[in-house]
Amino acid sequence: MPASTTVPSDRVESDPNNPSLMDTSGPASQSQAVILSNLDSNQVSWFKRWSLAILAISVASISVPLSFLQPAKISIDPHDYGARTKHVLSTSPLIDGHNDLPHLIRIELYGKMYDGSLNLNDKLLGHTDVQRMRKGQMGGQFWSVFVECETVVGIDDPTWVVRDTLEQIDITRRFIEEYPSVFQYCDNPQCARTAFKAGRIASMIGIEGGHQVGNSLGAIRQMYDLGARYITTTHNCDNAFATAASTVAAGGEDKGLTSFGHEYVKEMNRLGMMIDLSHVSHQTMRDVLSVTRSPIIFSHSGAYSVQKHLRHAPDDVLRGIKRNGGIIMAVFVNRFLNMKHPEEATIHDVVDHIMHIVAVAGWEHVGVGSDFSGTPSTPIGLEDVSKYPDLVALLMERGATDEQIRLFAGENLLRVWAAIEKRGIEIQAEGTKPNEAVWEERIKGWATGFANSPFMFRSTREQRKDIKRTAHNFNVNGDGVHKPE
């Protein structure tokens, strides 16, 4: 065997998989010669001829198995809307922004679900059960925690509405937990994606009226801690925050957002909680858009230009949603879709609203918000939760691409939700403390203390010395006679 042979580097094929063929001599300024030890000229010639072939075979042997790990590209006839719909909804979550099923569990069953009276796997009356949700290829649902506005009390009179809201949250959390193979409770958008990938229906909580927090920012914080992730700023009544659409429809003045409502917006932004503008007046919509630091949502509304119902957003608001980065989720309520003949409302009316929103705001700002299990009547063709694929197919027939459908179905909502969360984190990082503002009307009836309250400050004692106060019962004997102070 001849001694080591020195060969110019340009005659040798560099193979990164064979260290013996790589130049490890140092920087490029050094000699470019490569030493081939113990190789005669025939061996060098053979290696030169076959090294590239060996390398190609090695690469192929690795890449072929890896190709099976790539998602298969499915060829679907673009006019086969059913097949396209099935494919899109199996790979992107369809998330509805508003369903009132927890309300029905409360009013029909008094919140009871462990005695065998409720089985969501059964085919139920109404709009919602597991069988039909699966048929509708649902990937997620915001469950509405709804309590009616009190009509017999003033805006700050005592009611049981906060208690009832807490019970609704409890009911929602419990029925989600009762079906762990079907539902997964989520309080953040990443969880919703994870649930969908696991084959479960992501389940979130939204509160359908600002009156349900007792006109209190402190109560909002507690509701957030319990899992609520949006608040519909008003329902069908005004509250301390804003004017409702129903007030304007009844001939009342549209005062928009109140001064305390500005504090509400600030605190919702700080929490990273979604502000829902369904049910509010048009001026309230505009006012909130003008002051919020975060995107907003409409959980179940439509386009005012399509149907002149005050529950819908006018075009200037739709343009504001686009600038704001928010989303409006199309509602399925008959009387909002066809005011003159609600019984004639159809799936095509819903599509008309969606396409108008798209024309003004774009596909990035539209979603689905049915109001199933809340509305007493539904459009022809959208009778229950099994019908979402029909809606998607009809949108495709109107020209929507698969990517646009993914945005509409759930990607928009998840993006907006994530943006709101992020802004909340940024605001808190600025050192912003929880908002301590109190509605002035409440202060008028604020507790003044007891006759012998151990006030902390002399100024308080002087200020309240002439106010008549009720003595606390710890100063009362068993016979009802006050003890000496």
Catalytic residues: 98, 100, 208, 235, 279, 300, 371
Q: Residue type at 311? A: R
Residue 395: name the closest of 429, 432, 428, 367 by CA.
367
Which is it for the CA torsion 271, 273, 276, 282, positive or negative? positive
Residue 168: name the closest of 234, 95, 105 by CA.
105
Q: DSSP letter at 375?
A: S
Parallel, antiparallel, or unpaired: how do β-strands 201-207 and 228-232 relate? parallel
Please give the structure tokens belonging to residue 267. 């605190």
Q: List, as one string, the DSSP characters of 4-44.
A: -EEE-GGGS---TT-GGGS--S-STTS---EEETT--HHHH
Half-sphere exposure of 15 (CA within 13 A, CB side): 18
**15 to 4, 273, 368: CA distances (angstroms):** 20, 57, 56
Residue 297: name the closest of 369, 392, 221, 398 by CA.
369
Tell how many helices (H) and how many strands (E) occur in the chain.
Answer: 18, 11
In angstroms, rounded to a whole number, what is the distance separating the alpha carbons of residues 417 and 150? 30
Residue 47: name the closest of 64, 63, 60, 34 by CA.
34
Give CA 470 to chain center in angstroms. Answer: 47
**453 to 35, 118, 464, 469, 484: CA distances (angstroms):** 97, 51, 11, 10, 14
Per DSSP, the three-state class of 180 is coil
In which region does residue 111 sit, left (phi positive, over 0), alpha (psi from -120 to 50) or beta (all else)? left
Please give the structure tokens belonging to residue 169. 């949250």
